[in-house]
Structure 1
Amino acid sequence: MRSRKKKTWKKVTAAILSLLVIGGGAYGYTVYKSLNKAVDAMHQPIERKQSEKRDEAVSLKAKDPFSVLMLGVDEREGDKGRSDTMIVLTVNPNNNSVKMLSIPRDTRTEIIGKGKEDKINHAYAFGGVPMAMDTVEDFLDIPIDYYIQVNMEGFTDMVDAVGGVTVQNDLDFSQDGFHFAKGELTLNGAQALSYTRMRKEDPQGDFGRQTRQRQIIEGVVKEGASLSSLTKFSDIFTVLGKNVKTNLTFDQIAAIQKGYKDAGTSIQQMQIQEQGKMINNIYYGLVSSEEKQRVQNELKTQLEL
């Protein structure tokens, strides 16, 4: 979802989960076949042990609350890349909500499997999706059940596939040759990517960037769920198949569509507060034990753990 290799996808593609949650069997056999084909292209299982954070494996058919790690990755030829965007979604069909937590890329934590502390987004570079999942699981002290990895190159395609997104902008700024005035804006894919890239002019820094990122995600969800966008399902599924990898199977996605549909319509944003600090001439975001506990408790409650 992005066409300009700019490190920091700002990814609308938590939308992917929500589009899949909202989408589904109601569109008939043709859509079913298109979704099946897209999921087959997207499916990429990983070798990873059952999480110690759960007594039993999550059951989508039983409508258990579950979690998903969204990774926005900029992969260049010959370089595995880093997960510049990390979003944890916790989905609960019992309270019909999704809680979305953006983890700042500079967050300092132990990299599980590496034996040292580093920026959390380095976990993907060191050990791919499994190490990223293990590290986030340890940091948040919750099970990470599934992952969805999004290629940055597909960002603009996703926004364009749903016909653009509408956001409410509260900061006048320019980025990459685009000017974003205050107020309601309708953005195409290229504009949405630039909108989510800016952080240096934002008084809130990375948190402001994360807010714009979530706006785009919610915009894609809203457009993807609308009747007008459903006529474009073929384009949407084609974009997903080309730019998304996940360990979710078609049957699991079908179970999500059936049992979690209402949860996808209510997305609640979470923030984790950090203090910036230079350590050995490298900038890190440090999270206090109290703040980490607060976030962990909220996520555990959402997952009914």
Structure 2
Amino acid sequence: MSRKKLTNKKKLLINGSIFIAILLLIGGIYVSNLYTKTKNIVNESHEKLERDEDKSNLRAEKVDPLQDNVSVLFLGVDTSEHRNYGEKSRTDAIILATFNKQKSSVKLLSIPRDTLVYVPEVGYNTKINHAHFHGGPDATVETVEEFLNVPVDYFVRMNFEAFVQVVDALGGIMFDVPYEIVESNSQDQKNTIHLLPGYQELDGEEALALARTRKYDSDVDRGKRQQEIIKAIAGKATSMGSVFKLGNVIEAIGDNMKTNLSFDDMKSFLSYGLAEDISLETIQLEGKGGYIQGGWYYIIDEESQLQVQKELRTHLNLSPTANPQLTIN
């Protein structure tokens, strides 16, 4: 082989190595900046619950998400810069997620917003989405624990703006729209969102309209749609094509999120995102709607409630036996 061919081959090898090194360097810088940005936003969004020892009353000890099976209550609140309800907002979506380390699995339970429950904050039965209006995340966490006899270790509260901006930051999500819908957008402008049935790409406003609409089916079906939309967002966020979009996603969350998860707590959930065999299961509460003293409520079937309690407690490696101190209201 001639010296010229060796030289060209050597140059190609060197140039290729430099190119790879530059990519690794850019990736390292990006990851470093993303890490710092995430840490700052999580620290700014941190909000403790007002409970003793910073742990659920249904726990003997404080949990560590790095080692223990834990639960996270996701709250979507019906407020935004346009609505400006602040702490007096109601929850438009309530989803309890339990995480099992050993099985690398997640269970998602959507609680219909009109579910009739006992709200300890006010001392009487009312719709579960009213708990946040009366006492914010603290009252909602307490109500969910009373209702399900399942410890709520953490909460994440996001508003409409965060939802819309997160989906847009990911470049939209693919979703199978079940039927034609005409809905308002996040600014409450009527009939501005029009979707036809079929598998299609949705932007943030369209995904929000589909997640919120209740005109075309039941509150239970609405909860199922919300679970599927969350799965679609999670799938897009963890795809390789979205790696360089995560910075925009984090910025979108910004001031629109409150959580009692610390930055180290959040890092503990990374193992679920990296697991190739992770199982994500959605479960439902069975019941029926009806009018009580002039108001419409969703009444949960007692047997279904007990079954869901047992399933979630078992998933957390807790005794499936109901706590005798808690009663079903």
- TM-score class, shorter-chain normalisation, is 0.7 to 0.9
Letter in 2 for 1:48: R
Which of 71, 78, 91 is matched with 1:74 structurally? 78
Aligned to 1:220: 233
CA distance in 2 between partners of 1:44 and 1:258 (Å): 24
Matched, 1:239 2:252: yes
Aligned to 2:3: none
Which of 146, 159, 170 is matched with 2:178 structurally? 170
Which of 126, 139, 142 is matched with 2:134 structurally? 126
Change (3 A) 1:207 1:67: same
Aligned to 1:150: 158
Change (3 A) 1:117 1:132: same
Letter in 2 for 1:255: S
For residue 26 of structure 1, report the CA deviation from its aligned partner.
11
Equivalenced residues, count: 278
For residue 154 of structure 1, report the CA deviation from its aligned partner.
2.0
Return 251-260 or 95-104, whichever deviates more. Answer: 251-260
Matched, 1:54 2:59: yes
* Equivalences for residues 59-138 of structure 1 within 5 A: 59-62=64-67, 64-75=68-79, 76-77=83-84, 80-138=88-146
For residue 56 of structure 1, report the CA deviation from its aligned partner.
1.8
For residue 77 of structure 1, report the CA deviation from its aligned partner.
3.4
Change (3 A) 1:241 1:177: closer
Matched, 1:262 2:275: yes
For residue 263 of structure 1, report the CA deviation from its aligned partner.
8.7
CA distance in 1 between partners of 2:196 and 2:277 (Å): 30
CA deviations on 1:48-69 (whole Å, 9 max, x unpaired) are 123232222212232x110011
Letter in 1 for 2:175: V
Tell me the SS of whatever aligns to 1:54. Answer: coil
CA deviations on 1:87-141 (whole Å, 9 max, x unpaired) are 1010112111111111011111110132111111111111111111000011010
CA distance in 1 between partners of 2:182 and 2:92 (Å): 22
CA distance in 2 between partners of 1:91 and 1:51 (Å): 16
CA distance in 2 between partners of 1:32 and 1:55 (Å): 33
The structure that has the greater radius of gyration is: 2
CA distance in 1 between partners of 2:260 and 2:46 (Å): 6
The 4+ residue runs of structure 1 with deviation greater than 6 A are: none
CA distance in 2 between partners of 1:263 and 1:129 (Å): 33
CA distance in 2 between partners of 1:105 and 1:241 (Å): 25
CA distance in 2 between partners of 1:186 and 1:258 (Å): 28
Tell me the SS of whatever aligns to 1:100. Answer: strand
Is this contact kept in 2: 1:96–1:260, CA < 8 A? no
Q: TM-score, normalised by structure 2?
A: 0.79
Tell me the SS of whatever aligns to 2:211. Answer: helix
For residue 27 of structure 1, report the CA deviation from its aligned partner.
6.6
CA distance in 2 between partners of 1:270 and 1:26 (Å): 40
| Structure 2 residue ranges without an equivalent (≥5) | 1-27, 184-190, 319-329
Letter in 2 for 1:180: L
Is this contact kept in 1: 2:110–2:224, CA < 8 A? no
Aligned to 2:37: 34
CA distance in 1 between partners of 2:223 and 2:293 (Å): 26
| Structure 1 residue ranges without an equivalent (≥5) | 1-24
